[in-house]
Amino acid sequence: MAAAAGLRCYFPGSTIGSGFVRPSSSSRGRRAAAVAAPSREAEPAASLGHRTRVDFPILHQDFDGTKLVYFDNGATSQKPFSVMKTLDEYYRSYNSNVHRGIHALSAKATDAYEGARRKVANFVNAADSREIVFTRNATEAINLSFLLLDKKLFSYFVYQILLTVAEHHSAIVPWQFVSQKTGATLKYVGLTKEEVPDIEQLKGLMSNRTKMVVIHHVSNVLGSMLPIEEIVTWSKRVGAKVLVDACQSVPHMPVDVQKLGADFLVASSHKMCGPTGVGFMHGTFEMLSSMEPFLGGGEMIADVFNEKSTYAEPPSRKSWQHISMKAFVLFQMSGYMVQHLPKQITVLLYALSMLRTFILQILQKFLISSTANLVLFANPLFQHGVAIRSGHHCAQILHRTLGINASARASLHFYNTKEEVDVFIHALKDTIDFLTSQH
């Protein structure tokens, strides 16, 4: 299931020459067999992709007569009508400050806002909706956790923060700040020969010096999944806190924060078909209550005096007003996604099997040597209407570890169809054929 969250299709970095495609000697000068473009009309009515894509207006557009195939969901997902409608209704009929006014508009906005918190809490099975703190995005949620923790946990230079080389920059750079401020050491877990994070190494590195373990649930580049429950158990044994970056798992699979047992888990609305500008952090109530406030201001106070203030209980202590406007739309999405999550696997498995065959047959014959070249590679794909991501995916340490500059990522969501996978495979073959003919 994890690999399904992001189909990885990376190309070994070439040290040879400056050409961006180097055909193998066996294929040089030969045109690949023509691949018939699949028909996009003959779509079985019952599939999840076909049933849900009608809800996503952006998916139904052409570029110079070519239909869009959106396979960049790992970067951001598209938004259904219900999200746009909820935002529109909010601004048209009950725009007001939550938790402030006593008038009907404010009461309705407050209900929607707290309803969102409950829905998100249910979505990830939090024990209490007060354990959900809304933030502006996942990056802010991670920064929030380090700002809240650093004074307590990292006051000695002997302390260590454990990460894997596959973390997103958003989960690395905040801990570099902590390290620079406190002298705590950053320790990176490498990859196995299967090119997934080395769990045995992670276990071996844990000691009573380890204060924080920062790990992804599903990698945004490798598509691999880490055994969070086990890692939490090992971390607790040495007294370390665990932060799970669940940006790529929450939108694609059921995530149960109680079962995982981590101290913090963060995710992002814009990857979950919700609006941009909202993320959330789950932290146990006990943990959140023991932490210092993040931003001083309106919503987080209990009483304000001339010299000092007392603070509200979580979640208000951590969050603040201006992010709340879109947060309530998340609840729409969590309801919507709950219906579809368990069913999204079929098309992803199809895509994986198609891609695996394809990679074995064709792709291994080509080497692509730089980020710029990968962009050149992604561009012809878009001539076929296929939007994928190329570059380092905010994971430069991982790419360096793999010895490559960049990779191309096709990532699907539940609204994608088998027919789109066929278009993608066709576009990939055609692109490589085209690039080969240029050399």
Ligand X SMILES: Cc1ncc(COP(=O)(O)O)c(C=O)c1O
Exposure b/e, 37-67, CB count within 10 A at least 16 = b: ebeeeeeeeebbbbebbebbeebeeeeeeeb
Q: Do 358 and 426 form a contact (C-beta atoms < 8 A)? A: no
Residue 54 CB, nearest approach to ligand X (Å): 27
Residue 172 CB, nearest approach to ligand X (Å): 10
Total residues belonging to the chain: 439
Whether residue 273 lies in the annotated active site:
no
**Contact range with ligand X by CB under 6 A, out of 19-27, 137-145, 303-311, 329-337:** 137-145
**Contact range with ligand X by CB under 6 A, out of 82-90, 196-204, 242-250, 354-362:** 242-250
131 binds ligand X (CB under 6 A): no
138 binds ligand X (CB under 6 A): yes
**Contact range with ligand X by CB under 6 A, out of 115-123, 131-139, 194-202, 290-298:** 131-139
Query: Measured between alpha carbons, how far is 257 from 126 in angstroms, rounded to an integer?
Result: 6
Residue 335 CB, nearest approach to ligand X (Å): 21
**Contact range with ligand X by CB under 6 A, out of 108-116, 136-144, 207-215, 322-330:** 136-144
Q: Which of 79, 119, 211, 216 binds ligand X (CB under 6 A)?
A: 216
Residue 244 CB, nearest approach to ligand X (Å): 10
59 binds ligand X (CB under 6 A): no
319-358 residues in contact with ligand X (CB under 6 A) are none
211 binds ligand X (CB under 6 A): no
Burial (CB < 10 A; 0-12, 13-18, 19+), residue 376, is middle
Run of H or E residues at 376: helix 371-383
User: CA torsion sign, 186 to 154 to 211 to 3?
Assistant: negative
Q: Which of 86, 110, 139, 145 binds ligand X (CB under 6 A)?
A: 139
Q: Do 192 and 153 form a contact (C-beta atoms < 8 A)? A: no
Residue 78 CB, nearest approach to ligand X (Å): 15
Q: Do 267 and 279 form a contact (C-beta atoms < 8 A)? A: yes
168 binds ligand X (CB under 6 A): yes
210 binds ligand X (CB under 6 A): no
249 binds ligand X (CB under 6 A): no
Q: Which of 247, 368, 387, 421 binds ligand X (CB under 6 A)?
A: 247
316 binds ligand X (CB under 6 A): no
C-alpha torsion angle, residues 266, 189, 392, 333 (rounded to 10): -20
Query: Measured between alpha carbons, how far is 299 from 90 in angstroms, rounded to an integer?
Result: 21
Indicate the SS3 state at residue 413. Answer: coil
Between 137 and 332, CB nearer to ligand X: 137
Q: Do 429 and 35 form a contact (C-beta atoms < 8 A)? A: yes
The DSSP result for 244-296, as a single string, is: EE-TTTTTTS---HHHH--SEEEEEGGGTTS-TT-EEEEE-HHHHHHSPPSS-
Binding flags for ligand X, 259-298, as an x/- string (CB under 6 A): ---------x----------x-------------------
Query: Measured between alpha carbons, how far is 119 from 202 in angstroms, rounded to an integer?
Result: 34
Residue 199 CB, nearest approach to ligand X (Å): 18
Residue 299 CB, nearest approach to ligand X (Å): 21
Between 268 and 284, CB nearer to ligand X: 268
In 77-167, which ranges are continuous DSSP H helix? Answer: 81-89, 104-123, 138-153
Strands 7-9, 66-67: pairing is: unpaired
Binding flags for ligand X, 171-190, as an x/- string (CB under 6 A): x-------------------
135 binds ligand X (CB under 6 A): no
170 binds ligand X (CB under 6 A): yes
245 binds ligand X (CB under 6 A): yes
Q: Which of 47, 164, 220, 324 binds ligand X (CB under 6 A)?
A: 220
Between 245 and 420, CB nearer to ligand X: 245
Between 354 and 394, CB nearer to ligand X: 394
143 binds ligand X (CB under 6 A): no
The DSSP result for 321-365, as a single string, is: GGGHHHHHHHHHHHHHHHHHGGGTHHHHHHHHHHHHHHHHHTGGG
C-alpha distance from residue 267 to each of 141, 248, 251, 252, 291 (Å): 8, 8, 9, 12, 20
Indicate the SS3 state at residue 228. Answer: helix
Biggest CA-to-CA distance, the chain: 80
Residue 142 CB, nearest approach to ligand X (Å): 7
**For binding to ligand X (CB under 6 A), which residues are involved?**
137-139, 168, 170-171, 216, 220, 245, 247-248, 268, 279, 394
What positions carry a catalytic annotation? 394
